[in-house]
A and B are shown apart, each in its own frame.
Chain A
Amino acid sequence: MTEPDPAEQLVHARGLTKRFGDFTAVDGIDVDVRRGEAFGFLGPNGAGKSSTMRMIACVSPVTDGTLRVLGRDPATDGAWIRGRLGVVPQEDSLDLELTVRENLLVYGRYFGLPKPLIRERAEELLDFVQLTDKRDAKVDALSGGMKRRLTIARSLINEPEVLLLDEPTTGLDPQARHVLWDRLFRLKQQGVTLILTTHYMDEAEQLCDRLVVMDKAHIVAEGSPAELIGQWSAREVVEVRFAPGDHEAMAGKVEDLGSRVEVLPDRLLLYTEDGDAAAAAVHERGLHPVGLLVRRSTLEDVFLRLTGRTLVD
């Protein structure tokens, strides 16, 4: 791999650390995000994703290590950097008393943009996130998915080079998530660099060119979704269900059928290059599972392997 051009390296972190008192929320992570890519932080609650995002967004001071965003130091050039970022925070910070459109107008003024320009962009952005028919509704009355879309529209008012999205789709129903993914995908095609955090591996697989898996303040793995699966999991997974309580005992009887077996409370996961063959072997041994499913390996499996935990329970 060739050394990336520094001008194309929008985020550059070495030994990046965030401490709250004695507690270390981010412990010396190295991250590089290149222009135009979609980069993900995948991890469970409390992993340190938001703490990292807030440092990149130049709102939370770096405790230790080096951080450069758009080539500059947040400690000295925070305002300059923030002027070129779009931020979708984990918790909405929309003004519920104002209308959809007013939220955009007010926010654009924080960037010092002239009012006519903001008005023009607001109409375009409302169209982009499909909220034009809600433009004069109070934000209070919007659904969760609409609020998220409005927050994304708001974050684009300054035409940012980089968009930071902290759990953009958490709490949304599947349909609302797909609408959002579609919008994010379009932004990426327009050349906007996306940095996002998520609990959802399908989201990471759909959107991210590269991602890091974070756990307990550390980065535990890094790569494209395919690379991570290749490196940390087998090609296929056989999910085998037995009667509750039997899984521990059954694990020993099937473990030689794959490269690894994982015992979950409600099923066994058997990692193998050939799922159908392993499934057939389970039947041949007369083990009579209650259920059996062969599927492709996902990031969820990578995560389970790396942290011993499932991402979303």
Chain B
Amino acid sequence: MLAAPHALRSYEYWLFQYKRTYKGSLVSTILFPVLFLASMGLGLGTLVDQSASGGVDGRSYLTFLAPGLLAATAMQTAVGESTYPVMGAIKWVKTYHAMLATPLGVLDVLVGHVLFIATRILISAGIFLAVMTLFGASESPLALFALVGALLTGLAFALPTIAFAAVTENDAGFAFLFRFVVTPLFLFGGVFYPVEQLPVVLEQVAYVTPLWHGVDLSRDLALGTATAAGTAGHVLYLSVWIVAGFAVAARNYRRRLAV
């Protein structure tokens, strides 16, 4: 039998670790979509749907909102998993150092962790999709494709964040990241309303952020309104963030861990 590729050995560690602790995070992973879909989707949605516009782009607010929140959930999970755990593996628990004393190399350590973060994104997004379906907010089985959109969205945030976490000296940078990047994107990235509603300048800014692309991609996939060109554009744009983020992360990991 062939031994697993080295990166999978690192992945296995993170899975092992997650299996022991997932129960604690599961509650909030389920509660977040329930709370948001109930309060915004149903509560605020009733108001929106009864207004002159009659929903958003001819759909109920709940169906509009849900795929956007799905992408935002992916972003939040991705950033959460790419900040403290990465810093911990370098500075506190030194998990990476333990791995690097074995046949695993720096790239194996990075790729294994990214695989795990991808898994975490899929788990959160999957739970979100399930809750969404219970709320009647997913119209067709095609909504499953929105998981791909969510995964790409998450990774487009995860890799640059990992790159940052690998070189930042203390966790104050993470608070900044959540407050001044994640939260504004969540509010202005097209999750709650079409970005066309924003002042032109903000609208243009929104188009540059990976979240808007992720939201639009997930929404189009979930609602079955995706076009080939639009989908390709979003996928390409998110891939640029993923690939560039990976390149910088790999460089930063080497600088930090192979000294």
Contact = CB atoms under 8 A, between A and B. Distances in A.
A98 B20 contact: yes
Contact of B258 (A20, A60, A98, A109): A60
A78 B105 contact: yes
Contacts of A96: 93
Most chain B CB neighbours (cut-off 10 Å) among A57, A95, A106, A110 = A110
Interface residues of A, number: 30
Contacts of A109: 9, 12-13
B190 to A, nearest CB: 38
B258 A79 contact: no
A20 B259 contact: yes
A125 B185 CA distance: 51
A302 B236 CA distance: 66
Interface string B99-136: 11111110000000000000000000000000000000
A216 interface: no
A110 B4 contact: no
A112 B9 contact: yes
A110 B9 contact: yes
B103 A93 contact: no
B94 A107 contact: no
A250 B185 CA distance: 77
Interface residues of B, number: 26
Contacts of B105: 78-79
Contact of B103 (A57, A61, A79, A102): A79
A43 interface: no
A82 B259 contact: no
A111 B99 CA distance: 9
A128 B9 CA distance: 26
A95 B104 contact: no
B94 A110 contact: no
B103 A112 contact: yes
Contacts of B258: 59-61
B100 A91 contact: no
Contacts of A204: none
A295 B98 CA distance: 43
Interface in A69-128: 78-80, 82-83, 85, 87, 89, 91-98, 102, 106-107, 109-112
A57 B101 contact: yes
B4 A112 contact: yes
Interface string A144-164: 000000000001001000000
B95 A95 contact: yes
11 contacts: A79-B6, A79-B104, A79-B105, A82-B101, A87-B101, A93-B95, A96-B93, A107-B98, A110-B98, A112-B9, A158-B102
Given A89-B97, A102-B16, A110-B9, 9 more contacts: A59-B257, A60-B258, A79-B103, A80-B103, A85-B101, A106-B16, A110-B99, A110-B103, A112-B9
